[in-house]
Amino acid sequence: MATVDYRSLAGDILQGVGGEKNIASATHCATRLRLKLRDDAKADTAAIEKLPGVITVMKAGGQYQVVIGNNVPTVYAELGKITRLGEDAGANEEPAAHGNLFNRFIDLISSIFSPVIWPLAAAGLLKAFLSMATQFGWLDPASQTNVILAATADALFYFLPIFLAVTAAKRFKTNQFTSMAIAGALVYPSIVALAGQPEPVNFAGIPMVMMNYTSSVLPIIVAVWLQGYLERFLTRGLPSAIRNFTTPLLTLLVMVPLVLLTVGPVTTYAAQGLSTAINAAVPFAPWLAGGIMGGFWQVFVLFGLHWGLVPGMLNEIATQGYSLLMGPLLAAVLGQAGATLAVMFRTRNKARRTVAGPAALSGFLAGITEPAIYGVNLPLKKPFYFGITGGVVGGAIAAAGGSGATSFVFPSLLGLPAFSTVGNFALQLLGTGAAILIAFLLTFFFGPREEAAAAASDAGTSVPETAAAIPAAAQPVPASPAHAATMSGTVEVLAPVAGQAVALADVQDKVFASGAMGKGLGIIPADGHIYSPISGSIKAAMKTGHAFGIKSEDGVEVLVHIGIDTVQLQGRGFESAVTRGQQVRAGDLLAVVDLDLVTEAGYDTTTLVMVTNTAQLAGVDPVAGGTLAQGDTAITVQV
């Protein structure tokens, strides 16, 4: 399979089934491309079965199923590139986002930021070093060298919407170059200049409230999300002769003015209301204003609301020589840095630790929190909340002492001199220290302790705390050392669930029973808790929770498929406990399934355990039959 050209295979399958117009819908499960054809007679089954990479073809449940094996997600993704069928390509591979609306929002933001985290961390670290170099006189701030280095460090933050346009386009399945053009318009110099001029701005006679979109996050994400709907509408409605250039043309003409006319006013008015409320609290309850600013400044930044507060800060400095609104920001920023530092010490995930170190350093030294927020705290959620908690307490203490800043600086340790001459500096230090300590200790003792994970494609991928949501009775029974170990070239694949063993030939699925997917066995499960049969890395975790692919360090590839044709349940009755890329030990929980629901829906609950790379191994010997306890040896593999 390694030599298969999957792009060509996708095209050949498409041609073999009668083209895109003959496909009503397309999806995939752990091993099969599942197509609903409008006319089965147009499909050349014999030709498709001869294609390199295709194991077999079967028709069941009203579907035309092309069995490909472990590489079916790749074929499905390639199919999505050459048709409009794969707009959700890859959607079956990862668990859906769970939790409340805010948690799903955090997951969305984190996933969009993930590919940018390493450059953000590098740029933030460079900004920290440059700030330190100019602060201590090692580098002349007016020198051309500093100008060039500052541009190197600042460019990513200034043009952040363009970078996020690329990752958001991948998430929302839009044309990424059109997305980048929209983002480029938002940060275009003349647009930025319009946001700073006092005269009214209008578009075709429509009054427009401008804001500064540089370094912003949400406007471009919302824009690309809406772009996806518009592009799909235009693609369906426009004639093919003009579609390729007319779709991006109309998308740009609609989306740029739409964002400027809607996002700008909404954000600006919300920010102005927030600024008015906080400023009103300063005279009679400075501690309250300080708690709000210290705790929620990073949230304001996330939603772009800080732009309504910044002009007030600048005006205060210009008219009275200092800004009281800036006083609590040290606690806000350094509280998040403290939480990130705790993650660095607490996590067992090497990739996360590698990001957390420089992210915390750039936060402490330069007040640059984007790498910390989007690469560490926000994906893990609890550290972000704990940073807010520390900021609330620290900001309230600093504001109670009348602390303020005499210049507009990034709140950081190197920026401390700007906060030293307004109000009670001792209380400022006490509040800042309290914010760091509270955030650090809460994160260190109560934050998520991620397990060591296989190298991920990005450092921002979070490992959910699935075990915390699993009842004690459902916790895995540890595998014995004999089972977990590999001795003399032998690997023991354990029974993932207690139950009655069934010979593979007797399984009620033609493909599995034929052995085309490899040797193995079925188990009629006695309960709904499915555990990992080997130690290794999760290579596939279906969104529906019904199938998992695991590869051991010895190179043994095992498929655990819960039930027959249960992909049709679309996740009902299944609760996944692992994600792709996660490391598991033999005996760790993979999923919980409601067997009664599966049975009542008319599906066979037989759970398949298959060694999918049987042909590459010296020997694969499943047990002959009988009753198995969870953790008993089910298959003996000679590597």
Q: 55 to each of 1, 42, 44, 503, how far by Cα in Å? A: 10, 20, 15, 21
What is the rounded distance in angstroms from the CA atom of residue 300 to the CA atom of residue 303? 5
Is residue 168 a contact partner of residue 179, using CB atoms and an 8 Å limit?
A: yes
What is the rounded distance in angstroms from the CA atom of residue 438 to the CA atom of residue 328? 15
Is residue 482 a contact partner of residue 494, using CB atoms and an 8 Å limit?
A: no
How many beta carbons lie within 10 A of that of residue 193, not counting itself? 11
477-486 contact pairs (CB < 8 A, 24+): 477/531, 477/587, 477/630, 477/631, 478/587, 479/585, 479/586, 479/587, 479/631, 480/631, 483/586, 483/631, 483/633, 484/535, 484/585, 484/586, 484/587, 486/552, 486/553, 486/554, 486/639
Helix axes 176-186, 160-172, angle to 10 degrees: 150
What is the rounded distance in angstroms from the CA atom of residue 232 to the CA atom of residue 98? 27
What is the rounded distance in angstroms from the CA atom of residue 83 to the CA atom of residue 13? 12
Is 306 annotated as catalytic?
Answer: no
Among 483, 529, 546, 561, the one annotated catalytic: 561
Dihedrals phi, psi of 291, to nearest 5 degrees: -65, -40
Beta-strand (E) ranges in 486-588? 490-494, 499-503, 519-525, 529-531, 536-541, 547-551, 557-562, 574-576, 583-584
The H helix count followed by the E strand count for the chain is 22, 20
What is the DSSP code (8-state) at residue 305? G
Closest alpha carbon to 547 in 565, 527, 535: 565
Is 29 annotated as catalytic?
Answer: yes
Alpha helices (H) along 159-309: 160-172, 176-186, 189-196, 218-237, 240-284, 286-303
Tokens for 243, please give them.
């579609």
Alpha helices (H) along 347-424: 350-366, 370-372, 378-380, 382-400
What is the rounded distance in angstroms from the CA atom of residue 429 to the CA atom of residue 439? 15
Tokens 């009655």 belong to 500
Tokens for 411, please give them.
């709140």
Among 29, 306, 529, 546, the one annotated catalytic: 29
- Catalytically annotated residues: 29, 561
